[in-house]
Chain A
């Protein structure tokens, strides 16, 4: 099967897999596009750091669906929260606008009812409040912690009624 190489770009993922993708798909990756444009000669293979082959599989799935006008059918349901985060970081690195919006929305939906503790771990953030500051802001926004569907804070005991 002959392929006109000028229409395909080779991308090498972090785990060493080479993907030959259409130029149009590569164009949706602003990071890759910038590398192509800056290269003096025709670039042979572009390494994409922090992007694994399973990420590329999903990126290609999304691309195929959006070309067919079916981008709404793309789902990340099967990914757990951490896998989703990794995927988002990969797409963020590649600077892919549409898929980025889809994934940030997906992450927001997953985090909506989570606890403060969970969110800190998820984002890799340290608590930089003093105990007094935390107590004050916690109290001020107490209403935002209430609700049957909100994940309780790990370090807060459930009050006896």
Chain B
């Protein structure tokens, strides 16, 4: 007869081996990881432990964040093929594991005559609708567009733009997104006003128009002034996640003076904002800072052609100490600056010969896309198609 194994009900093992512990830890959000750094000494140094870092990075890249379900990538490329001539924005839909399929999409009719510097606001779609904005001198165009159905809706002009005939507005689009409480699409922008030069303003007509924020609501089809003092965006990098618009700024709250750079997050539902400062070691004289969404998380790519290529992921909004350095990479020679991120750890860049390329975080390989782009206006957007009418209501 075989000897029985001796059934035991007592828990034989209580201690979890470190390898197994790392497998669990690598799947935790940054906030939990930082708290559990207080469990024991070796866990305080998790992000300096190469073994752990590799596990964490692999999980980070391969984890399918729901933000990207059913999405494709849009590349908005800006180029002036005939130097000195006009710039043109061209839109491509990228698909395929290695973006081997690039389909050019036509802009909607309002942009057929002038397709220069079109921005896909907040690099996002809401129920298949994009918000396109264009500033060309005095002309200002802003519209909603569904590329799948070709429906578009021009956003009316704001009554605040020309409050005084003697002042010219400068407009800064800060965000587009969805208010799930009111089931509404909103566009946020900042206006500031300058005296039109060479015009004598009659004393009685003198009106000092302060800079202001305004928000457009699709439901009311109108612009409303926002009584808020908030820094406006300093770059093209604007994001929208879960009803919150994010951008970054180097201006102070009244947009007059230079301030330390910070992330600004505006909640479209309750119309309040939060700032998150960058930690001082993120800022350097040669660094390019690029705000992006990396696999669903707010991140800064800190890039300098010769010395630096880091990626910092934000652990918690509002907490300067929570920018965690997750990726440290070799800088890529002849690659000038990032233009956006894809769905699974792809980072798109512009090279110094204007070629647009993408970098795979997991394999660290670079591939050309086959198009060139000028200026810092080229950007990537994440698009989820839908056949719904604009606004869905």
Interface residues of A (CB under 8 A from B): 12-16, 45, 47, 50, 82, 85-86, 88-89, 92, 100, 104-105, 107-108, 111-113, 116, 119-120, 122-129, 133-134, 137-138, 140-141, 143-145, 147, 150
Contacts and interface: CB of A to CB of B under 8 A. Distances in A.
B28 A124 contact: no
Contacts of A89: 13, 16, 20
A150 B29 CA distance: 13
Contacts of A86: 11
Interface string B1-17: 01011011101111110
Contacts of B4: 16
A82 B13 CA distance: 11
B38 A116 contact: yes
A105 B27 contact: yes
A137 B23 contact: no
A16 B8 CA distance: 10
Contacts of B34: 141, 143-144
B319 interface: yes
Contacts of B171: none
Interface residues of B, number: 36
B35 interface: yes
Contacts of A47: 5
14 contacts: A14-B5, A15-B9, A45-B2, A88-B20, A89-B20, A104-B24, A111-B24, A112-B28, A125-B40, A126-B40, A127-B40, A129-B44, A137-B44, A141-B35
B7 A15 contact: yes
Contacts of A50: 12-13
Most-contacted residue by chain B among A89, A112, A123, A125 (CB, 10 A): A123
Given A104-B24, A143-B316, A119 B321 contact: no
Contacts of A13: 5
A104 B27 contact: yes
A120 B316 CA distance: 24
A15 to B, nearest CB: 4
A87 B2 CA distance: 27
B32 A14 contact: no
Contacts of B164: none
B35 A128 contact: no
Chain B, interface SS category: loop
Interface in B29-77: 29, 31-32, 34-41, 44
Given A100-B23, A111-B32, 5 more contacts: A124-B14, A125-B15, A127-B39, A128-B41, A143-B321
A102 to B, nearest CB: 11
A85 B27 CA distance: 15
A16 B7 contact: yes
Contacts of A123: 15-16, 21, 39
Contacts of B27: 104-105, 108
List the 9 shortest-distance A-B pairs measured between CB atoms, nearest first.
A124-B15, A108-B27, A15-B7, A144-B35, A144-B34, A124-B14, A143-B319, A104-B23, A141-B34
B80 interface: no
B25 interface: yes
Given A16-B4, A123-B21, A116 B13 contact: no
Nearest to A143: B319
B322 interface: yes
Most-contacted residue by chain A among B13, B14, B35, B315 (CB, 10 A): B35
